[in-house]
Structure 1
Amino acid sequence: MFVEFFEAIRDFTETGGQVLLVIGLLIFVMWLLILERALYFFIWHKHFKNETIAKWNARQDKSSWFAEQIRQAMISRVSLRLNGPVPIIQALVALCPLLGLMGTVTGMIEVFDVMAISGSGNARSMASGVSKATIPTMAGMVGALSGVFASTWLARISKTEKMHIEDAMAMEH
């Protein structure tokens, strides 16, 4: 079963060219980061959030300028932990279609090479280059779409959690 799976992947990457391997690696890293963020939100964030709120509630002074600066620093620390690799994930999402475009260009170069060598537009001889032009584009777009949904979800959760902490640590006047 695993042998057939790896043979299918090998055949797919041969059909799509070397750029497809880079796109696959990029998507793999992107989804590892997305899963890490999801695990952080569902497992570790609650503890850090409760700890931060407890530290704030344990303070005597909650209304001075100094207390406001401490409150802002605590909220910033939570926000930094919440966002973590989200900007990296967003950059990887933007990189997926660009790598797909690079695969398109390299595939089309192969098509033009075949046309220059054969001297005609023989469809059979150009098929390999056309597949190397279209498959990386498709893979880059699929990776970008899946990453856009996930990164938007992560950014929304991060923003919501930051607002919850700000509300829980509201200043007393």
Structure 2
Amino acid sequence: MLYLIGLWESVRDFIAAGGDVLYVVAIALFLMWILMVERYWFLTSSFPALQKRIVANWEAREDTKSWYAHKIRDTWISQASDKLSERMLLIKTLVAICPLIGLLGTVTGMIGVFETMATQGTGNPRLMAAGISMATIPTMAGMVAALSGVFFSSRLEARVKLLKEKLIDSLPHH
């Protein structure tokens, strides 16, 4: 319990050092990871059953050679492909937006530095250093959030592509 309290205090201090924009970065990061975990869960638990059902339906068909049968096959592949690709664009968008949110924090932090310089003058380097530090933390947080998402989303995308290809290969085109 003390560990969790210490962890919470560290997070609170980090957010205080970086500004309120870090809440937005945290929300984007949390949403991105929820979506990626959901996609991994779908690929490992739900999609194999869907794939088996599609393959069983294809193999149960008497007609697999006509134009009509191939259109049915293409429809099933397209529907499965849509299910595989769900939310991938949103995940990629969240990955791309995290650094931009961090840059927003940098801009707002620098505005604070300039306001301090305008009211206090440029003679106090400590005030300027604290403001610049506060301005750079959101950029770092946004970049770290994006980097964590880039690796896993690219692996997820490769897995989706592989599963699509395996589905197509498992439905023989006579």
Per the normalisation by structure 2, the TM-score is: 0.95
Looking at structure 1, the residues matched to 152 and 86 of structure 2 have their Cα atoms a distance apart, in angstroms, of 14
Looking at structure 2, the residues matched to 52 and 131 of structure 1 have their Cα atoms a distance apart, in angstroms, of 56
Displacement of 1:127 after TM fit?
Answer: 2.7
Partner SS for 2:91 = helix
* Structure 1: gaps spanning 5 or more residues: none
- The question of whether the paired residues in 2 share the 8 Å contact of 1:100 and 1:138 is answered with yes
2:169 equivalent in structure 1: 167
Looking at structure 1, the residues matched to 47 and 65 of structure 2 have their Cα atoms a distance apart, in angstroms, of 27
What one-letter code is carried by the residue in structure 2 that aligns with 1:56?
W
1:59 equivalent in structure 2: 61
Looking at structure 1, the residues matched to 59 and 123 of structure 2 have their Cα atoms a distance apart, in angstroms, of 75
What one-letter code is carried by the residue in structure 2 that aligns with 1:17?
G
Q: Which deviates more from structure 2 when the two are superposed, residues 1-10 or residues 102-111?
A: 1-10
Percent of residue pairs bearing the same amino acid type: 45
Looking at structure 1, the residues matched to 153 and 24 of structure 2 have their Cα atoms a distance apart, in angstroms, of 20
2:33 equivalent in structure 1: 31
2:10 equivalent in structure 1: 8
> In angstroms, what is the RMSD of aligned CA positions?
1.0
- The question of whether the paired residues in 2 share the 8 Å contact of 1:114 and 1:126 is answered with yes
What is the number of residues matched between the two proteins?
172
- The question of whether the paired residues in 2 share the 8 Å contact of 1:97 and 1:140 is answered with yes
Question: 1:13-92 alignment to 2 at 5 Å?
Answer: 13-92=15-94
Residues 22-81 of structure 1 show CA distances to partners (whole Å, capped at 9, x for unaligned) of 001100110011111111111111111111111111111111111111001100111111
What one-letter code is carried by the residue in structure 2 that aligns with 1:93?
V
1:106 equivalent in structure 2: 108
What one-letter code is carried by the residue in structure 2 that aligns with 1:131?
S
Looking at structure 2, the residues matched to 12 and 84 of structure 1 have their Cα atoms a distance apart, in angstroms, of 34
Looking at structure 1, the residues matched to 23 and 128 of structure 2 have their Cα atoms a distance apart, in angstroms, of 22
Displacement of 1:167 after TM fit?
Answer: 0.7
Residues 66-115 of structure 1 show CA distances to partners (whole Å, capped at 9, x for unaligned) of 11110011001111111111110001011101101101100100110111
What one-letter code is carried by the residue in structure 1 that aligns with 2:9?
E
Looking at structure 1, the residues matched to 7 and 76 of structure 2 have their Cα atoms a distance apart, in angstroms, of 48
Displacement of 1:121 after TM fit?
Answer: 4.4
2:131 equivalent in structure 1: 129
- The question of whether the paired residues in 2 share the 8 Å contact of 1:107 and 1:130 is answered with yes
Looking at structure 1, the residues matched to 36 and 57 of structure 2 have their Cα atoms a distance apart, in angstroms, of 29
Per the normalisation by structure 1, the TM-score is: 0.96
Partner SS for 1:60 = coil
Q: Which deviates more from structure 2 when the two are superposed, residues 89-98 or residues 129-138?
A: 129-138
- The question of whether the paired residues in 2 share the 8 Å contact of 1:106 and 1:132 is answered with no
Looking at structure 2, the residues matched to 121 and 22 of structure 1 have their Cα atoms a distance apart, in angstroms, of 33
Partner SS for 2:62 = coil
What one-letter code is carried by the residue in structure 2 that aligns with 1:54?
A
What one-letter code is carried by the residue in structure 2 that aligns with 1:114?
T
